[in-house]
């Protein structure tokens, strides 16, 4: 039966789509393990159980391949978050679920995502792909914050402030995710809870108009 054929790691004559996924799986592993530059096309081909020319035939150059990895993983992450957030829940609940979704995904793809993410940030051609992913996530978060503000009755919050807050939150989350990726024993939910607390309370105060003021200059 086909099912069993797909289940065992058959390396011959697979349809293109399947082969491509195998290659991407292998590429993600190798890029994560070594970093972009240290990863060699040779190693990726071996890891995929396929010859190098096939990799070039299917996925193109090393840059193309890496971008494909970033995009596939990025899409999965975004979907993971969106699915977790849900539609009709209170803002804090949504934020909480979103954070859990995010950290859960990173926790489950430690070796995959976080390292891959780190790579992409520093290499120019990929930074753009990443930036657009990030922008979409920020948008989602900003939406939640706007909803929260509305719930609290505040209506004059400036959009720019909301976006800035969302940006800070996402940045903090990424920073913690980075750390999470390096600490296999850490619990993603715990990270989510900590950030939730740390952020939510602060954000609420902030959105309620309370501000810390420097006493000097």
- Chain residues in the site for DNA (CB under 7 A): 11-16, 19, 38-42, 50-54, 56-57, 61-63
Q: How far is CA 113 from CA 29, 117, 127, 209, in A?
A: 9, 6, 15, 37
Burial class of residue 103, CB neighbours in 10 A (0-12, 13-18, 19+) = buried
Q: Is 56 in the site for a copy of itself (CB under 8 A)?
A: no
**Cα separation, 56 vs 68, whole angstroms:** 13
Q: Is 197 in the site for a copy of itself (CB under 8 A)?
A: yes
For residue 44, what are its two tokens? 């990726």
Place of tokens 């930074």: 127
For residue 210, give the H/E element and its range.
none
Task: Report the nearest approach of DNA to the CB of residue 33 (Å).
Answer: 13
Phi (first) and psi of residue 65, to 5 degrees: -60, -45
* Residue 171 contact partner, candidates DNA, a copy of itself, none, CB within 5 to 8 A by sort of partner: a copy of itself
Contact region with a copy of itself (CB under 8 A), list: 6-14, 18-26, 77-85, 207-215: 207-215
For residue 25, what are its two tokens? 């799986």
Between 60 and 171, CB nearer to DNA: 60
Between 30 and 173, CB nearer to DNA: 30
Binding interface with a copy of itself (CB under 8 A): 35-38, 90, 92-93, 96, 115, 118-119, 121-123, 164-165, 167-168, 171-172, 174-176, 178-179, 193-203, 205-206, 210-212, 214-216
């Amino acid at each position: 039966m086909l099912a069993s054929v797909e289940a065992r790691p058959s390396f011959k004559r697979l349809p293109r789509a399947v082969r491509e996924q195998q290659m991407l799986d292998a590429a993600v592993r190798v890029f994560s393990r070594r970093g972009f530059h240290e990863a060699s096309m040779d190693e990726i081909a071996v890891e995929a159980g396929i010859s190098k020319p096939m990799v070039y035939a299917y996925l193109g150059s090393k840059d193309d391949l890496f971008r494909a990895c970033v995009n596939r993983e990025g899409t999965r992450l975004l979907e993971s978050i969106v699915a977790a957030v849900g539609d009709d829940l209170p803002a804090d609940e949504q934020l909480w679920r979103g954070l859990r979704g995010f950290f859960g995904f990173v926790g489950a793809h430690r070796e995959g995502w976080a390292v891959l993410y780190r790579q992409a940030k520093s290499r120019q051609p990929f930074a753009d792909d990443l930036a657009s992913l990030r922008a979409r996530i920020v948008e989602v978060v900003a939406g939640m914050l706007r909803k929260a503000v509305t719930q609290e009755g505040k209506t004059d919050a400036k959009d720019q402030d909301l976006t800035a807050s969302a940006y800070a939150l996402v940045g903090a989350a990424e920073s913690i995710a980075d750390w999470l990726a390096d600490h296999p024993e850490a619990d993603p939910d715990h990270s989510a809870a900590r950030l939730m607390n740390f952020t939510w309370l602060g954000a609420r105060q902030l959105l309620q108009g309370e501000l810390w003021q420097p006493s000097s200059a």
